[in-house]
Amino acid sequence: MKTIFTRIQEGEIPSVIVHKDALCTVILDIQPVHKGHLLVISQEPYPTFSECPLPTLNHLMDIAQQADRKLRSVLDCDGTNLIINNGAASGQEVPHLHIHIIPRYTDDGQKFGFTKKTYAEGEMAKYGKKLEF
C-alpha cells in the first residue's frame, strides 16, 4: 500500500528531509506542534509498531535518539516528546510507522489530552495477571 509517507520518500510530494538511509527517512512535519517537529518514518510501510521487525525498530529508535540530541542542541529546547501513535484509535492518521519527535519548551502551553483513571480495589492485580508475558 502506498501511503503519503511512501510518496514523500519517493519524491512525489515535496518535503524537507534531514536524514535518509536504507531503513528510514526523517522529515520536518508539515504541521508541527513546534517548529523543528520531526518524523522518523520507516522506509517500508509497516502499519503499526507491532508489525515492524525488531532490527528495523531498533534502527528507528537509534535514529530517533540522534534526532532528539540534534533538536536539543540546535533548538535549545527544554525537552522533547517522542510519540508513536499506534493504530487509528490512538490518533494515528497515516497507517505507516513513524515516530514524532517534538521539541518542547518550559511554559509552551502545550498539553496532552489524557484523563488519568484509577483502578477499583483488586482490579490492578487482575489487569497485571492478564498482561503477563
Q: Which three cell numbers stand for residue 2?
A: 502506498
**pLDDT at residue 111, as a whole number:** 86
- pLDDT tens-digit series, residues 71-119: 999 999 999 999 999 999 999 999 999 999 999 999 999 988 888 999 9
Q: Residues near 47 by Cβ (< 8 Å), separated by ≥ 6?
A: 95, 96, 97
Residues 133 and 124: their CA atoms lie apart, in Å, by 16
Architecture of the CATH domain 4-130 = 2-Layer Sandwich (3.30)
Residue from 37, 59, 96, 98 carrying the catalytic annotation: 98
What ranges do the domains of the chain cover?
Answer: 4-130
Q: Is 98 a catalytic residue?
A: yes
